A and B are shown apart, each in its own frame.
Chain A
């Protein structure tokens, strides 16, 4: 892979095929933990960690075990077990190595098991015939895209707290509409890449 190809893959994963705004993965944490900037960044960092690792492990298992033995239909069960155990291992590892990091990321880790972006990306990179390197880059860049929109969205929501919004639309409904406007902007990156 040349550097140009790597950059194209990475930028299209971050901007154009953004996990949240164009693939609709990980909407629950996107709506749930985005009301404060710190927690949004914490969640985003934890997601980068888990998505990159779990996608790579799932890719290896899929290519070298599930495919040769012709048991591809087991992929959902295998991937979810990989993700659940990986999250558990990462949690224990961080707790041991860096208690300060654990304090800031720890509470988000258990939530990640049911973040559909993790299982979604593991399935995408495994079944869409990515090579090892492109699987690694694609999953990492997608997770960076998640952090990117999480951060922008949390800053918007912090401002929104002071805005006069009709009672029924406060909270998630107006956040949805804001996300729609963000999705419009992100769709226009199609011309750039």
Chain B
């Protein structure tokens, strides 16, 4: 497998949320706004890249029996660094992500990639794999958060100042009745993600059937 395939497989074909169904807790919890999704995405991409790099570099010295505890300690250390860095440089996002920053430690994606890929491959391919998987993960977050923020409040706010207000486009200063804050609430998160997963798997099975027919 060349590096390009290695990178692109994480985007759609082996997308960790849509296909492997891993790391769903933050996907539901922090996608209330685009800003949160971007913050979480960056944190996960960084964490995944660094842990994959470290774990693939030490893969030959780590005894097989105690590899999982070692991986968890490596991951927890990287997450602590991210936690402190975000508290210092991005205090607003750090506060709104709250408990989900330390919880990156137990995000199945990080340990999953460490176990499934970084422990068997060299540092360079591991980093490429981490970037692909991380970007695939972050983009699903971004899509869900855009859907939820737009339907939920009728506008999108990024970094506090950049605002796209759909209500204003229709010439109204209040939130239009078609937008309901139901989608900001927990129930909305489950339903948006459920629909997205369903639609994606419908498209996927259709496409697989098509390729099978073409092969015949």
Which residues of the partner chain A approach B189 to less than 8 Å between Cβ atoms?
24, 180, 183
User: What is the interface of chain B mostly: helix, strand, loop, or mixed?
Assistant: helix
Structural contact, A119 and B103, CB atoms closer than 8 A? yes
Judging by beta carbons under 8 Å apart, are A76 and B28 in contact?
no
Contact partners of B84 in chain A: CB under 8 A: 73
The yes or no answer to B73 lying at the interface (CB within 8 A) is yes
| A65 shortest CB reach to chain B, Å | 16
Segment at the B interface, from A25-33, A34-42, A93-101 = A25-33
Contacts of B72 in A (CB 8 A): 80, 84, 113
Q: Does A152 contact B (CB under 8 A)?
A: no
B194 neighbours in A (Cβ, 8 Å): 169, 172-177, 179-180
Report how far A77 CA is from B84 CA in the complex, Å: 13
A5: interface (CB < 8 Å): no
Q: Let me know if B176 is at the binding interface, CB within 8 A.
A: no
B201 touching A28 by the CB < 8 A rule? no
Given contacts A167-B205, A168-B199, A177-B191, contact A27 B24 (CB under 8 A): yes
Q: How many interface residues does chain B have, given as a range?
A: 35 or more
Whether B90 is near chain A, meaning CB under 8 Å from some CB there, is no
Chain A CB within 8 A of B69 CB:
yes
Tally of contacts, chain A with chain B, CB under 8 A: 122
In contact, B190 and A22 (Cβ under 8 angstroms) = no
**B198-A73 in contact (CB<8A):** no
A8 sits at the interface (CB 8 A):
no
Within the complex, the shortest CB–CB distance from A175 to chain B, in Å, comes to 7
Candidate in B26, B185, B189, B197 with the most chain A CB atoms within 10 angstroms: B197
Report the interface size class on chain A.
Answer: 35 or more
Flag if B25 contacts A28 (CB, 8 Å). Answer: yes
Q: A70-85 CB contact bits vs B (8 Å, 1 = yes)? A: 0001111100110010
User: Which of these, A25, A77, A84, A120, contacts B77 with CB under 8 Å?
Assistant: A77
In the assembled complex, the CB of B95 is this many whole angstroms from the nearest CB of chain A, namely 13
Cβ < 8 Å to B, chain A residues 148-193? 166-169, 172-177, 179-181, 183-184, 187
Q: Which residue of B lies closest to A79 (CB)?
A: B102
Which A residues are in CB contact (< 8 Å) with B198? 166, 168-169, 173-174, 177
CB pair A26–B199 under 8 Å, yes or no, is no
Which A residue's beta carbon lies closest to that of B201? Answer: A168
Task: Enumerate chain B interface residues (CB-CB to A < 8 A).
Answer: 21-22, 24-26, 28-29, 69, 72-73, 76-77, 79-80, 83-84, 99, 102-103, 105-108, 111, 185-191, 193-195, 197-205
